[in-house]
A and B are shown apart, each in its own frame.
Chain A
Amino acid sequence: MATYDDLLKPASAQTADAPALTDGAPTPCGAPGAMVSANADARCIGFVDRVVEQLGRQADALIPILQSIQKRYGYLPREALEHLCEVSEITPRDIAGVSTFYSRFRHEPAGTHVISVCHGTACHVKGAPLVSSALRRYLRLEDTQTTSADGVFTLDSVDCLGCCTLAPVVQIDGITYGHVTPDGVGQVLTDFLELARGGGIGAGVESGERTPGGLAEVRIGVGSCCIAGGSMDVLTQMQEALGRINAPAVVKPVGCVGMCHQTPLVEIEKPGEEIAVYARVQPGDAEAIAYRHFRPRGLGGRARVAVSRAVDRLLTDENWPPPDRYALDVRDAPVCAFLGPQRHLATELYGAANPLDLDDYRAHGGFEALKRCVTKLSPDGVIDTIERSGLRGRGGAGFPSGEKWRRVRAATGERKFVICNGDEGDPGAFMDRMILESYPFRVLEGLAIATWAVGAHEAVLYIRAEYALAVQRIWEAIRICEDHALLGDNVFGTGVRILVGIMEGAGAFVCGEETGLMASLEGRRGNPRLRPPYPSEQGLWDCPTLVNNVETLALVPTIVRNGARTLAELGTGLSKGTKVFSLTGKVRRGGLIEVPMGITIRQIVEDIGGGVAEGRSFKAVQIGGPSGGCIPAELADTPVDYEALNEIGAIMGSGGLVVLDDSDCMLDVARYFLQFTQRESCGKCVPCRIGTRRMLDILDRLCTGHGRIADLDELEQLAGMVRASSLCGLGQTAPNPILTTLRYFHDEYLAHIEGRCPAGRCKELITYTITDECIGCTRCAQQCPAHAIAFTPYEKHTIDSSKCIRCDTCRQLCPTDAVRIQ
């Protein structure tokens, strides 16, 4: 494996071509908005003046202003912040407080390229911590150092990139690498630097044309997972290939198909033929696929057959070693199983609609609901419909939406606001991202209906900062809607005014809590406050405010268009309709799924997800993310239902569903979530600020073999107190992962106290050994970063436990599975 120095050698040799890599000056390399050194910019004064001019002088412009400054300089230079105090009406208190509250803001210059290692749940259980430490070793970073000595790379972690099906995921300057292994980090960096030198890649998606009749449609997924899998390259290659053979087909970029475990996906629909789906398509495969379906003009039969055969060979090859080789797969039985039990309401037209094709959306009934609202229906009637449908908030708590709408409508106030909460922060969840990316018009329509129904004129979408593509698509969709009078001052020519804006988050999970979100919108630290008063009485700027989650709003157009029954006829007693989940973790077929309420967890895992891998056993599902709980396999027949899930200690949550198998340690999972909530706690109230930290201390003790039996009691007591006394939902639900694992996996806690980790996960409690199956191939010895394995060709290797850092590299490399964990 090339070392980091080797990697940089060509770079220094080619300084003329790529001056950026070693001299510290930033490189354009395709990253959006090339960074400028703060020193070179006359103390950034001019820039700050311009930004303030553009974005405003009041507190509510603070976060966007900071985002602009950071975009330009790569961090927030102190001079810029101090100058901002002078030229705006924003207090130093707010600037200092806000700029240090949100995790996306940097106060120190970063390296030229920022490596973000995703630490979402799915990535965590698939080994993200090992990837992180491998990168640290590779970049030779000392304890707290985050930027490599030469200033080229800064290692960062991100809570979830929402590409859970590609886990573990590493993103470098917007380029996503999936299925990264600890020993593969060198390759990833090499690949990135080559790409950077070569001028980079673009990731823009154009608003597509509608398919003219009679032409075949080649649909290529452009959801984040697909793009991360390389679908933009596939798209270009496919267009070129089809162009070369002049095929009667149109390439159509489409939203998420949901089968994120198979990205990138290509679907070909020829008139009169069955739809063919290709999964895990590589750019190089595009041509072959094109030739397979479209007769290349001027090419002989023999050549065609040869090509087909090549593709067929790939078809049968199901053992693709990620990340460097994707093979092909066609729509088959497993895919039917994946899609069979699903019901698509929020994700209607999944994988068939171009996200930004307004005509396409309208052809499928889009904006009919809004039109009927503003022209025929009364707001109260619509609220009645929503109420009768039984729609409950899909953000987690499940508050009846109709009632919420009614309260805001009834509230008195000159100004009212509607907020679409798209600050999906649960690690391991990406439903809202997919919906925003794939169905921007539907979300906007739902938002518009809500705005109109509660009597507001202003609406805003608060979207998580990590979801760049979603923000881009929503902006585009808003512009298109305004052009077509679907939003704006005169909706459908009726004089109805619905103005929609976007606010990009800046990295704070707690802003998913509605009062924290509103504080953030007002340009303050995202500290939640006590409710009541509820936002419906006193929300944004103290005006009555409706806050609904993305998925909730995406369901609204369907309900209004097709009637309350659409939802009401699906589901259980109090949980109606469908729920979108991101199914990830140790499941064969992960992805974005939408299932009717009442379906059991087992059905989701076994039928849709295809169960866990061969030789593994299904142990539990983690549902609801950091606020949720772990449900053991024995309780997998619990239906997806707000009340049923609460009863067993979990919550519906926003829809993260991570499947765990017998190689997952439940303490490690609990600790993982607690690390998350502890990191994301706003720090306002004592139970959450200090309580979560102390619970984590106890879990750390347990996971490192220093636990005592009294710790379990202490943990439970502390969990109870944090739950009862915390100010907001984050703290109140933070103990759930602990309480459920304590309840259902008590034995595992006891095992850790005895110094054993049954799943072989907790580094301090395990040792690696090599069995007699070792063939002496030396692969492990060559790659061991700690030199703990002696180089003994053709002899059985041994691991020196005192040197071993438990990075798992040897076990993953071993061709004969001779490395065991004890």
Chain B
Amino acid sequence: MPTITIDNRTVEVEPGTTILDAAARLGIHIPTLCHRQGVKPQTACMVCVVKIAGRKGLLPSCATIAEDGMVVESETEEVRLARRMALELMLGDHVGDCVGPCQTTCPAQMDIPGMIRLIGEGRLAEAVALVKGRIPFPAVLGRICPELCERACRRGRLDAPVSIKLLKRFVGDFDIWAKQRHLPVCRPATGRSVAIVGAGPAGLSAAYYLRIAGHSCTVYDDRERPGGMLRYGVAESELPHWVLDAEIEPLERMGIEFRAGVRVGEAVSLEQLRARHDACVLAVGDVGEWVEGFAGVPVEGRALAADRGTHQSPLPDVFVAGAALTPSRYAVRAVAGGRSVAQALHLFLQGEQPAGAERSYSVHIRTMDPDELEQFAADTPRHARVKIPTGQPGGFTEAQARMEAARCLHCECAELDTCRLRRLGLAYHASTTRYHGERRRFERDMSHPLLVHEPGKCIACGLCVQIAADSGEQLGLSFVGRGFTVRVAVPFGRPLSDGLREAARACADACPTAALTLREHFPHSSLPEPEAPAPRFRRRRRMLRRPFGRLRGSG
């Protein structure tokens, strides 16, 4: 029986065993896309390549048979690079968005399509939880957000974008008036404490997420009430203070402390804060006027000196977030910065290398032409954007919200969490834009009763072709054409439902991307059922509390 060495460990295997299987025996995982147990190796994706001593180039481990005395390295630098490039080549030739353009554009990377789906299904409490995972103040931002997401909304290329801002406001308002308000579950106390300087959107958001991570948080601000520019820089007609208060209230309930009227640098020095806490976050807003720096942290350009990725300033335990780091007048950017600094700081407090929040990993379809858009929107209701009737106070009613939610094209991918291409792309830090060339056309075939077929997402791995043949499909699937334009299709241009009868489910299961998806996984919009008219949710007659009502002493 052949004995082979993989990464300096030897294993004896049955004759005919592939290197991939031999490695698995050793617990060494080699990534694959086009490989599936029980199906003939396809040697298409070339992600499973390994280096074999004495052999030229790299070889696909899924099809290379282990020979006695073989010495294999499963992941050298060369191999990593080759894998990454193979992934990048596939990602660059992939016509499909992982996450919708709205989410990619949102500075807080909020899962907008997810929110819209939950609204559409009437699962509003879940929608609140989802939104607050990225934005702690949806009712606030739902009023003052600059709607960057709506500018990116693909529906906007068709008629008018989905009213994402109003839908977000709807979710926020729902929470404010809900019987049971959303309170995030905070992790057990870590015993670490963080001082947050500035109670604006960035500072409060940082506190919110740091607290969820189990750290105790104290927010210092020289004003009397928390909210920063949200309270003192926005007209109350645009953003009523009761809304702000209502959204800040949960922070108090989470156990975040607020020290009002404390001017850091005067009443208390940064050094004192650093001594008192394990780390500091400077979320002091626009620093334009303080050319000399803030409490010992110098200014670079128009911002405090700190790494934009890690938020870390030259003082290792002092982090900077919000407009103080990335000048912007958009509150949503500050909120995003707050969450990002919380993430970086959490890592720092655990003794790890700090790193802020990354942008969501996604392939982008880029611009679509009118024909493609028509296909893309084929199964989405085509009613016009819901307008709030004149005279109706506030935002959407639930019925209006659900109607508007039905307009979403759901650009996000059905297999976002299961797509192996995406998963490996993330693991290998493969760029989705490095090899952007001329792209294929977007196509979507909904003719099959069980499946949705999006050929643009196909990586031509051949699994479905093979599975259809193995399972004795009469017509089956075939590769059509060759080279760069090779496609998987039903022979003679027949519909997919003719090609895949028995093997449909197996093919969708095997598909490493979302080229073949089960309809049941496919996100889609439909009109709310008319027989269940949801009344506008009742505003409970209760007093809204003013959070952090008591003034606390300084220092």
Q: Which residues of A contact B478 (CB under 8 A)?
A: 92-94, 96-97
In the bound complex, CA of A717 to CA of B434 (Å) = 12
CB of A683 within 8 A of CB of B437, answer no
List A96-117 residues whose CB lies under 8 Å from chain B. Answer: 96-97, 100-101
Report if A69 contacts B (CB, 8 A).
no
CB of B491 within 8 A of CB of A530, answer no
Q: Which of B22-30, B54-62, B403-411, B534-542 lies at the interface with chain A?
A: B54-62
CB of A725 within 8 A of CB of B63, answer no
CB of A727 within 8 A of CB of B89, answer no
B498 nearest CB neighbor, chain A only: A92
B67 nearest CB neighbor, chain A only: A532
Report if A759 contacts B (CB, 8 A).
no
Q: Which residues of B contact A92 (CB under 8 A)?
A: 474-476, 478, 491-492
Report if A694 contacts B (CB, 8 A).
yes
The winner among B460, B485, B491 for most chain A CB atoms within 10 A is: B491
Q: A529-B43, A694-B89 are in contact. Are A725 and B82 (CB under 8 A)?
A: yes
Shortest CB-to-CB span from A723 to chain B, Å, is 7
Shortest CB-to-CB span from B341 to chain A, Å, is 33
Report if B229 contacts A (CB, 8 A).
no
CB of A678 within 8 A of CB of B484, answer yes
Q: Which residues of A contact B355 (CB under 8 A)?
A: none
In the bound complex, CA of A686 to CA of B474 (Å) = 29
Q: Which residues of B contact A778 (CB under 8 A)?
A: none
Q: Which of B44-52, B146-154, B444-452 lies at the interface with chain A?
A: B44-52
List A64-108 residues whose CB lies under 8 Å from chain B. Answer: 78, 81-82, 85, 91-97, 100-101
CB of B43 within 8 A of CB of A685, answer yes
CB of B469 within 8 A of CB of A91, answer yes
Q: Which residues of A contact B485 (CB under 8 A)?
A: 683
CB of B479 within 8 A of CB of A525, answer yes
Report if A679 contacts B (CB, 8 A).
yes
Shortest CB-to-CB span from B83 to chain A, Å, is 9
Q: Which residues of A contact B290 (CB under 8 A)?
A: none
Q: A96-B480, A97-B480, A679-B483 are in contact. Are A687 and B491 (CB under 8 A)?
A: no
CB of B43 within 8 A of CB of A727, answer yes
Q: A687-B46, A694-B89, A724-B82 are in contact. Are A525 and B60 (CB under 8 A)?
A: no
A529 nearest CB neighbor, chain B only: B43
Q: Which residues of B contact A532 (CB under 8 A)?
A: 65
In the bound complex, CA of A724 to CA of B65 (Å) = 18
Shortest CB-to-CB span from B264 to chain A, Å, is 44
List B38-95 residues whose CB lies under 8 Å from chain A. Answer: 41-47, 49, 57-60, 63-65, 78, 81-82, 85-86, 89-90, 92-93
CB of A93 within 8 A of CB of B469, answer yes
CB of B483 within 8 A of CB of A678, answer yes
Q: Mark A687-713, 1 if CB is under 8 A from B, else 0.
A: 101111110010000000000000000
CB of A691 within 8 A of CB of B89, answer yes
Q: A687-B89, A694-B435 are in contact. Are A100 and B43 (CB under 8 A)?
A: no
Report if A684 contacts B (CB, 8 A).
yes
B476 nearest CB neighbor, chain A only: A93
Report if A732 contacts B (CB, 8 A).
yes
Contact of B486 among A678, A689, A718, A725 (CB under 8 A): A689
Shortest CB-to-CB span from B17 to chain A, Å, is 14
CB of B435 within 8 A of CB of A690, answer yes
In the bound complex, CA of A478 to CA of B60 (Å) = 42
Q: Which residues of A contact B469 (CB under 8 A)?
A: 91, 93
CB of A683 within 8 A of CB of B491, answer no
Report if B365 contacts A (CB, 8 A).
no
Contact of A687 among B86, B92, B484, B492 (CB under 8 A): B86
Contact of A686 among B59, B89, B491 (CB under 8 A): B89
CB of A93 within 8 A of CB of B491, answer yes
Report if B507 contacts A (CB, 8 A).
no
Report if B482 contacts A (CB, 8 A).
yes
Q: Mark B93-118, 1 if CB is under 8 A from A, else 0.
A: 10000000000000000000000000
Q: Which residues of B contact A690 (CB under 8 A)?
A: 89-90, 92-93, 435, 484
Report if A469 contacts B (CB, 8 A).
no
In the bound complex, CA of A446 to CA of B44 (Å) = 37
CB of B64 within 8 A of CB of A530, answer yes
CB of B60 within 8 A of CB of A727, answer yes
Contact of A682 among B85, B92, B459, B482 (CB under 8 A): B482
Q: Which residues of B contact A693 (CB under 8 A)?
A: 437, 484
Report if A508 contacts B (CB, 8 A).
yes
Contact of B437 among A94, A681, A682, A697 (CB under 8 A): A697
Q: Which residues of B contact A808 (CB under 8 A)?
A: none
Shortest CB-to-CB span from B6 to chain A, Å, is 18
In the bound complex, CA of A718 to CA of B469 (Å) = 34
Q: Which residues of B contact A694 (CB under 8 A)?
A: 89, 92, 435, 437
Report if A426 contacts B (CB, 8 A).
no
A691 nearest CB neighbor, chain B only: B89
B87 nearest CB neighbor, chain A only: A686
Report if A680 contacts B (CB, 8 A).
yes
Q: Mark A228-240, 1 if CB is under 8 A from B, else 0.
A: 0000000000000
Q: Which residues of A contact B42 (CB under 8 A)?
A: 684
The winner among B44, B47, B65, B92 for most chain A CB atoms within 10 A is: B44
CB of A91 within 8 A of CB of B481, answer no
A508 nearest CB neighbor, chain B only: B482
Contact of B492 among A81, A697, A723 (CB under 8 A): A81
Contact of A93 among B45, B477, B484 (CB under 8 A): B477
CB of A530 within 8 A of CB of B60, answer yes
In the bound complex, CA of A690 to CA of B485 (Å) = 9
Q: Which residues of A contact B58 (CB under 8 A)?
A: 724-725
Report if B465 contacts A (CB, 8 A).
yes
Report if A496 contacts B (CB, 8 A).
no
Q: Which residues of A contact B44 (CB under 8 A)?
A: 684-686
Q: Which residues of A contact B63 (CB under 8 A)?
A: 530
Contact of A525 among B57, B92, B438, B482 (CB under 8 A): B482
List B411-468 residues whose CB lies under 8 Å from chain A. Answer: 435, 437-438, 459-460, 462, 465, 468
Shortest CB-to-CB span from A427 to chain B, Å, is 16
Q: Which residues of A contact B64 (CB under 8 A)?
A: 530
Q: A690-B93, A690-B435, A693-B437 are in contact. Are A721 and B81 (CB under 8 A)?
A: yes
Q: Which residues of A contact B493 (CB under 8 A)?
A: 78
In the bound complex, CA of A678 to CA of B438 (Å) = 14
In the bound complex, CA of A529 to CA of B469 (Å) = 19
In the bound complex, CA of A562 to CA of B476 (Å) = 56
Q: Which residues of B contact A691 (CB under 8 A)?
A: 85, 89
Q: Which residues of A contact B86 (CB under 8 A)?
A: 686-687, 721, 725
The winner among A81, A95, A721 for most chain B CB atoms within 10 A is: A721
List A659-684 residues whose CB lies under 8 Å from chain B. Answer: 678-684
CB of B460 within 8 A of CB of A689, answer yes
Q: A683-B484, A686-B90, A687-B89 are in contact. Are A78 and B479 (CB under 8 A)?
A: no
Shortest CB-to-CB span from B79 to chain A, Å, is 9
Q: Which residues of A contact B486 (CB under 8 A)?
A: 682-683, 689
Shortest CB-to-CB span from A526 to chain B, Å, is 8
In the bound complex, CA of A693 to CA of B486 (Å) = 13
In the bound complex, CA of A723 to CA of B81 (Å) = 13
Q: Which residues of A contact B437 (CB under 8 A)?
A: 693-694, 697
CB of A721 within 8 A of CB of B475, answer no
Shortest CB-to-CB span from B474 to chain A, Å, is 8
Q: Which residues of B contact A529 (CB under 8 A)?
A: 43
B47 nearest CB neighbor, chain A only: A686
CB of B46 within 8 A of CB of A100, answer no
Q: Which residues of A contact B45 (CB under 8 A)?
A: 685-686
Q: Which 3 A-B pairs have the closest CB atoms?
A: A683-B486, A96-B491, A92-B491
Instruction: List 20 other contacts, CB 8 Å, given A684-B43, A689-B483.
Output: A85-B491, A92-B475, A93-B469, A95-B491, A97-B480, A100-B482, A530-B43, A678-B483, A686-B47, A686-B89, A689-B460, A690-B435, A690-B484, A691-B89, A694-B89, A694-B437, A697-B438, A725-B58, A726-B57, A732-B57
11 contacts between A and B (CB under 8 A): A85-B491, A97-B479, A97-B491, A101-B482, A680-B483, A681-B484, A683-B481, A686-B47, A690-B89, A691-B85, A721-B82
